[in-house]
Amino acid sequence: MKKIFACALCVVMTVSLCSCAGCRKKEETKAKEKETIELWHYWDIPDNQRHLEELVEQFNKMQEDIKIEVSYIPDEDFKKQLALAMSEEKMPDIAVVDSSDFQFLHHMKAFADLTDAIPELKEYNEKALEPCTIDGRIYGQPFGVNCTGMFYNKKLLEENGCEVPESWEEFQETAAKISNEDVKGFAITALQTEESMYEFLPILWSMGGDVHRITEENSKKAFLLLDQMEKEGSLSLQSISLTMGDLTNQFLKGKIGIMFNSSMAIDSIREENPDLEFGVAPIPGGETSVSVAGGEILAVAENEKKEYAINVIKLRKNN
């Protein structure tokens, strides 16, 4: 009987020890779980997407505490969805925000103050910090600065005896000359997004126009130019549905001869079509060339994961 009791006791102790070991194993596993940080962006240029994916993958591998999960939202929907998420207290932990939208969104619901958490931000270029600085405090980290330029297909211009246009008259004439059944001389993003304004404002401003005086004669000249080019057949009708990424794809495939685009598109074009001979020049405008400076800013939500999100930005900055 003692032997039976001793055996039973051993079994109970073994089961108990295994159970405890199992508990400890579960606790250890739970302790190693990473904190998930959600990041939203709207980049549709392949090279930009790859660069972001590489940064995220590198970050996720280099440390054990945080895991970044990335969500892409098309540019035409991004601002609306982000504003809605902010109003419902569901903002992603980090958002890649267009510099032109930053202060509008911040005044809707304040982003996290990064001034003291990342002192090195004060060393950034003043113009780059301007969109995310409110009352002397810095609420975002500039993630890139770019400007609008005129991209042109060198071969198309050479074959049609055209020089790089420097005035709007030369630009309109060149676009007409290089157009044919398969190629349109020019295309522009014409969606209701900031991308469209990024491309259109240099035309408007160089002609003396202003968004606050859109019905005045100088402002009308910008719209008249595009109207004339459409009637001449040199402006692509696909413009009404093109994002900036679509525009880049059309250009690198040789479907359009001239486009206005961000300097960020240069690497994408070279990578996707290394045989394409293209140039980048100032946007036409006569004596004074006009461009638009833009870029993205990393914004951090003011929530319970703020410190983790700030650590993400710190590590990104240092690598």
- 36-58 pLDDT, tens digit each: 999 999 987 777 788 888 889 98
- 103-116 pLDDT, tens digit each: 999 999 999 999 99
Q: Which two tokens stand for residue 171?
A: 């630009």
How far is it, in rounded angstroms, from Cα 3 to Cα 13? 15
- pLDDT of 31 above 80: no
- What is the model's pLDDT at position 305? 94
Same domain flag for 171 and 275: yes
- pLDDT of 173 above 80: yes
Q: pLDDT-based confidence at 155, cuts 50/70/90?
A: very high
Query: Of 318, 313, 264, whose CA–CA distance to 139 is shortest?
Result: 313
Domain of residue 76, residue span:
34-145+295-317
In a domain, 153, yes or no: yes
Same domain flag for 131 and 151: no
In a domain, 21, yes or no: no
Output the domain CATH number for residue 165: 3.40.190.10
* Exposure of 70 in the CB half-sphere (CA atoms within 13 A): 17
Q: Counting beta carbons within 10 angstroms of the beta carbon of residue 276, is it exposed (0 to 12), middle (13 to 18) or buried (19 or more)?
A: middle
In the chain, what percentage of residues exceed pLDDT 70?
88
**Domain count for the chain:** 2
- pLDDT of 317 above 60: no
- 82-94 pLDDT, tens digit each: 999 999 999 999 9
Same domain flag for 245 and 155: yes
- 238-296 pLDDT, tens digit each: 999 998 889 999 999 999 999 999 888 898 899 899 999 999 999 998 667 788 878 89
- pLDDT of 23 above 70: no
Query: Count of CB atoms within 10 A of residue 194's CB?
Result: 21
List of long-range contacts for 162-171, beta carbons under 8 Å, 24+ apart:
164/279, 164/281, 165/284, 166/284, 166/286, 167/284, 167/285, 167/286, 168/203, 168/206, 168/207, 168/225, 168/284, 168/285, 168/286, 170/284, 171/258, 171/284
Same domain flag for 245 and 179: yes
- 195-241 pLDDT, tens digit each: 888 899 999 999 999 989 999 999 999 999 999 999 999 999 999 99
* pTM tops 0.95: no
In the chain, what percentage of residues exceed pLDDT 90?
62
In a domain, 5, yes or no: no
- What is the model's pLDDT at position 144? 77
Query: Of 52, 42, 34, whose CA–CA distance to 193 is shortest?
Result: 42
In a domain, 159, yes or no: yes
Same domain flag for 139 and 152: no
Mean pLDDT computed over every residue of the chain: 86
How far is it, in rounded angstroms, from Cα 282 to Cα 289? 6
- What is the model's pLDDT at position 316? 64
